[in-house]
Structure 1
Amino acid sequence: MFSKLDSVLQLVRQWQLSSPQNQGLYTPQWSGAECVVRVDNLSAHSISLGQIDLFDGQLPKDAKFHGEGFQMLAQNYGSADNITAIGRCPDAGEYRLSEDADHFTAYNQLLIESEGHYTLLGFSSCHRFSGYFKVYPSGRLVIGIDSDTLAIPARHYLNSESLFVACGESREAVLVQFAEAIEQHHPRLSWPSKPNGWCSWYHYYANVTADDIEENLQQLISPHDHLDYLLIDDGYQEFMGDWLYPSERFSGGVEGLCKRIREQGKEPAIWVAPFIAQAESRLFQQHPDWFVKGQNGQPLAAEEVTYGGWRCTPWYVLDTTQVQVNQYLHHVFSHMYHHWGVKYFKLDAIYWGTLAKGYRADPNKTRIEAYRMGMETINKACNGDAYILGCNAPMWPSLGLVHGMRIADDVERNIGRFKQIAKETFFRNWQDMRLWHNDPDCVTLNNIENQHTNEAAYNWHRVSLLASSGLVFSGDRLIELDTTQAEVLNVLQKNLADAARFADFSLQHAKQYQDDHLVRQYWFNWDEHNSLEIRLNLDAQWQVLWADSQFTSESTKNGLTICLAPNSAVVFEKKA
C-alpha cells in the first residue's frame, strides 16, 4: 500500500473529502509531491470554519508511526490503537490544544512505518495555519488545517499550508526529503557554527545572583576557556515582562555585568520570555490593553485556556498584531543588543505567543501569523545579527525564525528524565542542521540538592548528548567539575559529527557520520528491568568511548558480544 510514491500520492488524492456540505468547496492543487488545498466560501456571507478537514483516509492495519507535537514538549509514537506520549506534556494534556476524546492528534508531521517502508505526511509550510493529523483507533486518518478564528469573506477563499508526501525504505531518506521541502518555504537561519557555553539555570535556578555569574565567568576564562557564551537565565529580572529592570540579586544592573563578560573575552547571553508578563509587572500594569483579550474584553490569563506557566503566574500574553506591542519588543531587544552587547537570546515560553481561544486586535491575523510577526520584530531589532534560540516553543510556527531550537524537556539529574530527553531528542535528530541547530538542553554531570543519581545514569546522559550532536551548554557549577567531567564537556563541545541516525522506531542502534564517514555507533537498552545481549560485527578498528561500569563485552569467533544492563548505553568510536 505504501511501497511506491506514485501509489501513495494517488491514495492521498483519493482521500479528499466529498461530503455534501463540502462539494465545490475544496480544490486540491498538486505540484509534484506537495499539495495546497484551496478552500472557497461560495456563500453570500462570511464564514469561520475553524478546523478544516482536508483529507480522510485509512492507515495500513499494521502501521506504526511517530507524530510531532504542536509545542516542544509533545511527541507521540505507537500504533493507532496504542499511542504513547514521549514527553511530559502532550498537546491534549495540560496545554489543552486538542480534546482528543475519541482520537489522537499529531501536528505538522506524521511518519508512518509499514512492512519495512516509511511514508511521511507532513506540512512543509507554516505561514498562517497549523496542520494536523487525527488518528482514530480504527486506523482512520484525517488530515487538515486549523484556520483559527479567521473568517473567510463571502465569495473569497483561503489556501491551506503545503502538504508534502514522501515514501521509501529508508527512514532517514524520507526525512531528508521533507527537510528539503521545508527549506523551500522557510529557509533556515544560518550561523557560522554551533554556539556553546554555560547556563545558570540548572544549578541556581531562579535564585541566581550576580556573584554566581561572576564566579562562573572566572571558570570560563580558565580552565573552561573552550566555552564561549555565558547565559544568564531566568532570575535576573524584577518581574516577568520587565526585562530591562533587574532583581535585587542583580542590584548593580545587568548591563554592567554583560560588559564585564565581554571584557573577559566571553559573550553574554540572556534569557527572555518575550510574549508573557505577570500581573505585577510594569508592562502589564501600564499597558493592559496590549494583551490578548478574553470574551469579556479583559486581558486573558493563560491558565484559563492552556497550561498557565511554571512560576510567577498568572501569565498574560502580548498581542503582537498591535503596532505598539511590536514597538515595545523592538525597544527591549534593540536595547539589549546595542547597549548590553547581547548577541545570543534564549527565548523561552514563546509557545504562549500562539495562544488560542483569545482575541487579538487584528481579526484578520491567525495566531500563527501573530507569533511570526513578534518573532520577526525581535530578529529585526537585533539587525539579524543575534543568535535566537527557541525554547518551550511552537515547533512548526518557528520555522525560519530561530537559529536553534530546544527539542527536549528540561534536564533533571535522574535516569527517567535522561531517558525521556534522549527519546525526545532522537526522534528529532533529523531536524539538526536542516531546520535549525538542535538543543537537547544542558549537560549536567554533578548531583545537586534534591537531584541525585548514579554513574550509569550520567553515562546514559553523556552518550545520548554525543549522539544528538546538539548545542553544548554546561548546567553545573563549573568550579565543582572534576577533571573527568571537564573532559566529557570538552569531548561534547568538540564533536563535529552529524546527529546520529536511527534505523527504526526502536531507537536501539544508531550510526554517526562525519563528512560522510562512519565515526561512531551507539547502542541503548531502554528496558528498565532486563539486560540486553547483542552480537556485533565490529573489528579491531572500533573501541569503546563511553560506557558505564556494568558494561561487559566478549570477543568471539563471530565478532563481539556485548551486554548492556537495564537503562544502559554504550558508544563505540572508530580509531583515528
Structure 2
Amino acid sequence: MKYCLLIFWLPFFGAYPLITSAQHNLVAAIKHSDAYVLLPDGTVSTTVKITRTWQGNFCNTTLTNAGKNNLRLKEAVLFQANRLFKPETAIYAEGFQMLSQYRGTLATPKLVGGYDDNGHYKLPQPTGYKAVYNMLVLQPADSQPMLMGFNSSFRFIGKFYLSADTVKVVMDLENALLKPGASIRLEEFSLLTAKNSNALTSAFAARINHFHPRLQSDIPAGWCSWYCFGPEVTAKNISDHLTYIKQHIPQLKYIQLDDGYQPHMGDWLETGKAFGSSIQAVLKQIKTAGFEPAIWVAPFICDSNSTVFKEHPDWLVKDSLGKPLRSDKVTFGGWRLAPWYALDATNPLVQAHLTHVFKTMSAQWGCTYFKLDANFWGALPGGVYYDKTATRVTAYRSGMKAILKGAGNAFILGCNHPLWPSIGLINGSRSSNDISRDWNTFSATGDENLLRSWQNGRLWWNDPDCVLLTGNLPANEFMYHASLLFATGGLVLSGDDLTTITPERLAILKKMLPPKKTSALFNPALDVGWLKTPGATFLILLNKDDQEKKFTVPLPIAYRVTDYWTGEKKGVYKSEWKDTLPAHSGKVYQLKSL
C-alpha cells in the first residue's frame, strides 16, 4: 500500500535525474545495439544507410538508399535488447487495435484486452516472437522501470517483437519504395527511465503531445441506446428516454443513438424501416428538448447490401485482382452484417463522401457528438489502396481528417480504432472492450480501463464504456463496477433502460456526475487508488477476488472519511484506513482534511 501513496504524492521532475548507473548501462547498450532493414524477401539490405540521432531520451531515425536501384522496404529493426532483460521481467504493452493490451512477462506475454492483434485480427508476427505495439513498459524485479515507445504516428506503425530473452524495436515499412539517394524519416522513438511507471507515462504523454496536440473539448456525460436495446432500437425508445432523463437526471446531456437506426452498414444518411421514424425527426426532438443529439457511425465500412457497395465499388479497398476486398480474407470480418468492405480513404471521392456525411449530420441534423466505431477497418491490412504510396496509417488519418472537416466542433469518440494512428484526431477514446452485465466482464474491462488511465486528459478523454446498474447481478458487483468507472475519471454514459432503474441505483448514477476528468492513480495490484480533484480527494478500494479482502492504507495526513456512495460518515482517521471488502466489491471514500 505504501507504493500507492508514493506514486500519488511523488512530484515528477523528468526522466533524466532519476536514472541509476545500472539503468545508464542498460540504456547505453540499447542505444548502441545493431540496426538493420529487411527487404520483402526477408533478407537484410546492404545498401540502406541507417542514421539514428539522439536528443536526450528521444531518437529520430532516417533511412537512406545508398545504392543504385529502387528498393522496397519491409521493416526496420531500430534497436535490440538481446539478453539484457530476464525472462521473468514484467511488461505492459499496447496493441495496434484498441481491444488489444498485454501484460505478463517477456517469456509469457498475456492478453489483457478482449482480442489479440495476431490471433483475432490476423496481424502478422514472426515465429518465436510476440508482436506488441506503440509502447512497452519493462519492470525488472531488481531495478526501476523502463519505457520504450513511439512518440508519433504520421506514416508508419511502430511495434516490438518479444521473446524470453530479446526485445526488438521495429518499424513496419509496408514495402515502401525508396529510390536511390532518397531518404525516409521514421516515427520518433522514446527510451525513458524513472522511479515508477506513472512518471514514465507522464513524460511519454507529454512528448506525444508535442507531435499530436490533443483535441480540446469538455468531457461528455449522457445516455447510450446500445446496452438496453441493441440493433433493435426504435424511435420510441429514444423518445421515452428523453422524457425520463429530462425529468429525473438532466445531467445526462448527450442522448446517443447507437447502431441499428440505419438500413445497412455504410448507408448512414438513411433510416431503417424498423426504426419507426426518421432519424432527423428524433434528433430534432432531442435538440428541442434542450439536449445534445449524439449518433453512432462506422464510417470506414459497408456491407454488400448497402447502397455504397452497390453504387460505388470504386470507393473500396481492393484485393490483388482489383476487386473489393472482403475484410474476412485479411482480418476479422466484422460482428454484424459481415463480411464488411472498407472504404478507401486515400481516394478523394471517399474523402468528399465522408465530409458530406458528417457535415450533413452536424450542420443539418444538429449532431454534436459522434461515436465512430469499427475504425480499425480504415487501416485495413493486406489491401491495395487508390494512393499507391499510402500506408495503413496515412490512409486512416486521411479519412479521419475528412471526417473532422465535416463534423465541425462536434465531440469525436474513437471506438474499435487503431490506437496510435488516432492520436490527435479524436476527443475521446474507448479504453476497454464492450461492457455487459456479468461479473467476468466487469472485472476484465475494469483492468483494461485502469491500465490506460494515464491516457485520460493527456491524449484524449478516456471512455470506459457505459455504466450498467440494472440487472440480476448482486449489489456488490454493481458497486465494484461503479467504483471502478468512477476512478477512471473519464466519460460517463448510462447504458441502462432508465425507465426501469430503481431510485437507489439512480442515486448512484447521479453521484458519478459530472465526470471527474482526472484518473485515480493505483498501486500495481490495481486494488487501491487515489483520486485527487480540485475540490476533493477520494480513496478507491477494489476487490475482484473470489473471497473477502482486508485493506490497510496509510494516510499521509488526518482525514474525515465519508462513504461516497451512501453518505455515511466514518469519522476521523489520522494515520491509516483499515477496511474489509466482500468478494467482487468496490468502495469509494471521500476524504476531507481537517
Confirm or deny a common fold (TM above 0.5): yes
Aligned length: 561
Counterpart residue number, 2:114: 88
Structure 2 equivalent of residue 197 of structure 1 = 222
Q: How many angstroms does 1:345 deviate by?
A: 0.5
Q: Give the structure 1 partner of residue 239 of structure 2.
A: 214
Cα shift at 1:519: 0.6
Compute the displacement of 1:21 (Å): 4.2
Provide the rounded CA distance (Å) in 2 between the counterparts of 1:111 and 1:345.
32
Measured in 2, the distance between the counterparts of 1:44 and 1:18 equals: 18
**1:564 correspondence with 2:581:** yes
* Equivalent position to 1:481, from 478, 497, 501: 501
TM-score scaled by structure 2? Answer: 0.90
Quote the residue 2:551 is aligned against.
534
**What root-mean-square deviation, in Å, do the aligned CA atoms of Structure 1 and Structure 2 show?**
2.2
Contact 1:554 1:560 in 2 (8 A): no
Specify the alignment match of 2:189 in structure 1: 163
Name whichever of 95-104 and 475-484 sits farther off: 95-104
Matched ranges for 1:411-560 at <5 A: 411-447=435-471, 452-496=472-516, 498-504=518-524, 506-515=525-534, 519-528=537-546, 530-538=547-555, 541-546=560-565, 559-560=576-577
Kept in 2, the 8 Å contact 1:497–1:513? The answer is no
Cross-structure match for 2:325:
300
Q: For residues 499 and 558 of structure 1, what CA distance do their matches in structure 2 show? A: 24
Query: What does the per-residue CA deviation read over 1:235-272, in whole Å, with 9 as the maximum and x for residues that have no partner?
Result: 00010000011001234311121111111101101100
Q: Which amino acid aligns with 1:25?
A: K
Q: Does the 8 A contact of 1:2 with 1:8 survive in 2? A: no
Which of 92, 115, 133 is equivalent to 1:107? 133
Q: Secondary structure at the match of 2:34?
A: coil
Which of 118, 128, 145 is matched with 1:118 structurally?
145
Contact kept, 8 Å, 1:164 with 1:178, in 2: the verdict is yes
Paired with 1:176 and 1:537, the residues of 2 have a C-alpha distance of: 24
Q: Secondary structure at the match of 2:110?
A: strand
Q: Contact 1:172/1:503 (CA < 8 Å) preserved in 2?
A: no
Partner of 1:35: 59
Q: Alpha-carbon deviations, 1:465-501, whole Å to 9, x = none?
A: 0100110111001111121211111111224361011
> What amino acid is aligned across from residue 124 of structure 1 in structure 2?
N
Amino acid at match of 1:537: P
Moved more, 370-379 or 103-112: 103-112
Query: Unaligned 5+ residue runs, structure 2?
Result: 1-17, 38-43
Residue type matched to 2:462 in 1?
N
Deviation at 1:571, TM superposition (A): 2.3
Residue 174 of structure 2 aligns to a residue whose secondary structure is coil
Structure 1 residues 462, 556: CA separation in 2 closer, same or farther (over 3 Å shift)?
closer
Task: Supply the distance in 1 between the matched residues of 2:242 and 2:46 (Cα, whole angstroms).
Answer: 62
* 3-state DSSP of counterpart to 1:66: strand
Task: Give the superposition deviation at 1:290.
Answer: 0.9
Q: Secondary structure at the match of 2:537?
A: strand
Instruction: Give the residue type in structure 2 aligned to 1:293.
Output: K
- CA deviation map 1:394-425 (0-9, x unaligned): 10000000000001011101111011111000
Q: Relative to structure 1, is the Cα distance of residues 99 and 554 closer, same or farther in structure 2, using a 3 angstrom cutoff?
A: farther
Give the partner amino acid of 2:331: T
- The structural deviation recorded for 1:509 is 1.8
Assess if the C-alpha contact under 8 Å between 1:64 and 1:80 holds in 2.
yes
Q: Is the 8 A contact 2:35 2:76 kept in 1?
A: no
Equivalent residue, structure 1, for 2:381: 356
| C-alpha displacement of 1:544 | 3.0
Q: Is the 8 A contact 2:103 2:112 kept in 1?
A: yes
Deviation at 1:150, TM superposition (A): 2.1
SS at match of 1:294: coil
Instruction: Give the distance between the partners of 1:413 and 1:18, measured in 2 at CA.
Output: 49
- Superposed CA deviations along residues 147-180 of structure 1, whole A, max 9, x for unmatched, are 1232222332211100012111122111110010
SS of structure 2 residue aligned to 1:246: coil
| C-alpha distance after superposition, 1:89-140 (max 9, x if no partner) | 0111111113354111110100111235121111010000110011112x20
Q: Which residue of 2 aligns with 1:262?
A: 287
TM-score of the superposition, structure 1-length normalised?
0.93
Shift of 1:546: 4.5
State percent identity of aligned pairs.
33
- Give the unaligned 5+ runs of structure 1: 548-552
Matched with 1:343 is: 368
* Post-superposition CA distance 1:487-542 (Å, at most 9, x none): 111111224361011233x2122111113x871122223333x4322223355522
Q: 1:14 aligns with which of 29, 32, 40?
A: 32
C-alpha contact 1:524 1:568 (8 A) present in aligned 2: yes
TM-superposed CA distance for 1:45, in Å, is: 2.3
Of 413, 421, 424, which aligns to 1:400?
424
